[in-house]
Amino acid sequence: MDTRALRLVRRDRQQRKVRYLRDLASIPQLTPAERRSLEAVTAKYAFRANDYYLSLIDWTDPNDPIRQLIVPRTEELTEWGQLDPCNEAAVTVAQGVQHKYKHTVLLLCNEVCGAFCRYCFRKRLFMNDNDETSNDVSAGIRYIAGNPNVNNVLLTGGDPLLMSTRRLRSIIEQLRAIPHVRIIRIGSKMPAFDPFRITEDAELVDVLSRHSTPRKRIYMVAHFDHPRELTDEAVEALDVLIRAGVICTNQCPLIKGVNDDPATLAELFSELSYVGCPPYYLFQCRPTAGNEPYAVPIVRGWEIFRETMRRGSGLARRARYVMSHELGKVEITGVTSRHIHIRFHRAKDDALRGQLQKYKRDDAAYWLDDLEPVRGGGARRYPLSPRMEPAHD
């Protein structure tokens, strides 16, 4: 293991422990009237944050982007979208195990996050009586071991870094015992929400270092949405991971009021490239119940992305602008005065992989299902199914 990485997490200092909050009453910066107005929101969609992340908010600015990320809004109660808009249930092969693409399996191994992003596309996991995740990954391990095509495993949920290091070690060791699993990915927003989870845990760093080997790497797929999340503490956490041999990359959605601006997005992508965690995907916000105030239409999103891609170095311009649709990763490749062009970057159905399609331009459309195909343009309509219709209580 890199000795400097170990020193960073073992150096003599008072350990920083963040305090987690589940009640808006614990946020003194909110007025009593604001708390009362948000009671119905938090009753439907759970709230969770911590004192470190809340300290990043400029409370004098009601439109502060970090506030938009974490503090509930009454507009979340607008009837819009569904709890499982991409029909993840259809690719669930066992409890907590999803297999959508041939080479990649997802293990939903935790149902808690360091904080709850208000635009989360899996907020259903944090609701009562949800049993999609599984503390017991044995069924998933058996499934992966029996499928030699699987060379990538993504640990997700929830956030895997909220699990104990002992449990995470057990899962990684079991996966490393499967010869055909070459990449283990950890999808986590903890470098942004609670970087001390990494910098204060030498055992965690040791686990990652031991199992991220020259031919079988561990990837940390981080989730920074705004440049102000890249604090000194967050950058130190990324540095510890990199020095432990972990490959870091970042993916984030395009979020209204947070990063839906070319200058902000370009700054985020450039800063990520500087610290060794370059951008990977920029996601179209999924039509998930409660997400209406955070969504940006496809055409506007493309304009923001196109202008962002005019700025920064090549390493800062590696992101693809995609929709994570039920059918696959749908890359938006261009918008003209008349058309929207897409490509299936990844597809559940191999026949769609790499396919180019053309749709009529619709500046009000938020999702592939909203678009009308162009005759002879290789496209087809993906009509709204019952699960994609507006949610009703």
pLDDT of residue 286: 97
Tens digit of each residue's pLDDT (9 = 90 or more) over 141-173: 999 999 999 999 999 999 999 999 999 999 999
Q: Under 8 Å CB-to-CB from 142, ≥6 apart: which residues? A: none
Burial 344-380 (b: 16+ CB within 10 A, else e): bbbbbeeebbeeebbbebeeebbbbbbbeebeeeebe
Its pTM stands at 0.91
Q: Under 8 Å CB-to-CB from 301, ≥6 apart: which residues? A: 254, 260, 284, 321, 332
Tens digit of each residue's pLDDT (9 = 90 or more) over 252-309: 999 999 999 999 999 999 999 999 999 999 999 999 999 999 999 999 999 999 999 9
| Residue 309 belongs to a domain | yes
DSSP E strands: which ranges in 210-264? Answer: 218-222, 247-254
H/E stretch holding 169 = helix 165-176
In SS3 terms, 316-346 reads as HHCCEEEEEECCEEEEEEEECCCEEEEEEEE
Task: Find how far residue 313's CA is from the centre of its chain.
Answer: 24
| Residue 292 belongs to a domain | yes
Percent of the chain with pLDDT over 90: 87
| Residue 47 belongs to a domain | no
Q: Which two three-digit tokens encode residue 142?
A: 């058996």
The single residue listed with the structure tokens 């749908």 is 330
Tens digit of each residue's pLDDT (9 = 90 or more) over 324-356: 999 999 999 999 999 999 999 999 998 999 999
| Residue 282 belongs to a domain | yes
pLDDT of residue 134: 82
Contact (CB, 8 A) for 238 and 288:
no
Backbone angles phi, psi at 307, to 5 degrees: -70, -35
Task: Find how far residue 160's CA is from the centre of its chain.
Answer: 12
How would you class 55 by CB atoms within 10 Å of its CB: exposed for 0-12, middle for 13-18, buried for 19 or more? exposed
Say how many C-beta atoms besides its own lie within 10 A of residue 270's C-beta.
19
| Bridge partner residues of 21 (DSSP) | 49
pLDDT of residue 16: 75
Contact (CB, 8 A) for 47 and 92:
no
For residue 87, the one-letter residue type is N
Mean pLDDT computed over 222-243: 98
Q: Which two three-digit tokens encode residue 113?
A: 């996050």
Number of domains in the chain: 1
Of 189, 80, 121, residue with least CA distance to 326: 121
H/E stretch holding 262 = helix 262-274
* Domain membership of residue 223 as a residue range: 3-12+79-388
Q: In the chain, count of helices (H) and strands (E)?
A: 12, 14
Tens digit of each residue's pLDDT (9 = 90 or more) over 70-112: 999 999 999 999 999 999 999 999 999 999 999 999 999 998 9
Cα–Cα distance for residue pair 189/221, rounded to 1 Å: 8
Residue 378: give its domain's CATH number.
3.20.20.70
pLDDT of residue 132: 82
Percent of the chain with pLDDT over 70: 92
Task: Find how far residue 315's CA is from the centre of its chain.
Answer: 20
Cα–Cα distance for residue pair 175/96, rounded to 1 Å: 15
| Residue 357 belongs to a domain | yes
pLDDT of residue 387: 30
Mean pLDDT computed over 193-212: 98
Peptide bond into 158 cis (omega under 30): yes
| Residue 25 belongs to a domain | no
| Residue 60 belongs to a domain | no
For residue 154, give the 3-state DSSP assignment. Answer: strand
| Residue 91 belongs to a domain | yes
